Amino acid sequence: MKRNLSMLLMIVAAFALVLAGCGAKDKTSSGSVASEEGGNSKKVYKVGTEATFAPFESLDDKGKVVGLDVDILQAIADEMDFEVEWQNIGWEPVFQTIKNGETDIGAAGISVNKERKETFDFTEPYYESQLLIVVKEDSKIKSLADLKDKKISVQINATGHQAAKKLQGASSPNIMAFENQPVAIKEMLNGNVDATIGDNAVIYEYIKAHPKEKLKVIEDDAFEKEYYGFMVQKGNTELLNKLNEGLKKIKENGKLKEITGKDFK
């Protein structure tokens, strides 16, 4: 009787192990997921963004991050056989989480400049941009020089913020910095500042989405051209090389132009 009971327990234990094996999650580690075909795993990179920067990043009606950066990075991921996981965390945290290693890639229409390159590594550029001034339709402001003593709204620590500080001084009380560009524009419309400075694609996307707001756009040659790149932690050459290789491929095969509508080499 004891022997039969022992055999029965052994059979039950073996059956339980089989069930456990069948129900195991198809995931190899926190940094990779298993493919449905063949069981091969793909590396998963966490992407930090600030999704109020249309057309590069915004949220659709289901709360999903969409935009040009999403499409470009997905095209690179397809070429290089990895996955991306988007996290809408805000502008300032994009930089902090890359520095801390909590996210792998920063993608938020980030302009590459000397100051940022001291702390982070960037891919080759994938988009050319330029700053614009936005004022109310009846404003008498005509150039950047006219803003020398005016109140200006900007996105905090963006290149528009840097341009404003260069014009008025880093400690100027006339510069009002906000978490995102749409809020900076609203401050101008509400009469709290005289003008706002921001990236051209974002400014035009805002105007397109708000056709009833009477705005005037001012271009000024005093603004230098800017170039967007994807950002990674300083010294992460493995990921940087992977992104650059994929970016080169989508430039050569025309996918980048298809996404942005612009021929950028």
Residues 6+ away with beta carbon under 8 Å from 110:
94, 116, 122, 228, 229, 230, 231
Q: According to the model, what pLDDT value does residue 6 have?
A: 47
- Answer whether residue 27 shows pLDDT above 90: no
The CA distance from 129 to 163, in Å, is 14
Q: Which domains are seen in the chain, by residue range?
A: 32-126+229-260 (3.40.190.10), 130-226 (3.40.190.10)
- Answer whether residue 98 shows pLDDT above 70: yes
DSSP 219-265: --TTSPEEEE--EEETT-HHHHHHHHHHHHHHHHSSHHHHHHSS---
Stated pTM of the model: 0.79
pLDDT band at 143 (very low <50, low <70, confident <90, very high): very high
Give the rounded percent of residues in the chain with a pLDDT score beyond 70: 85
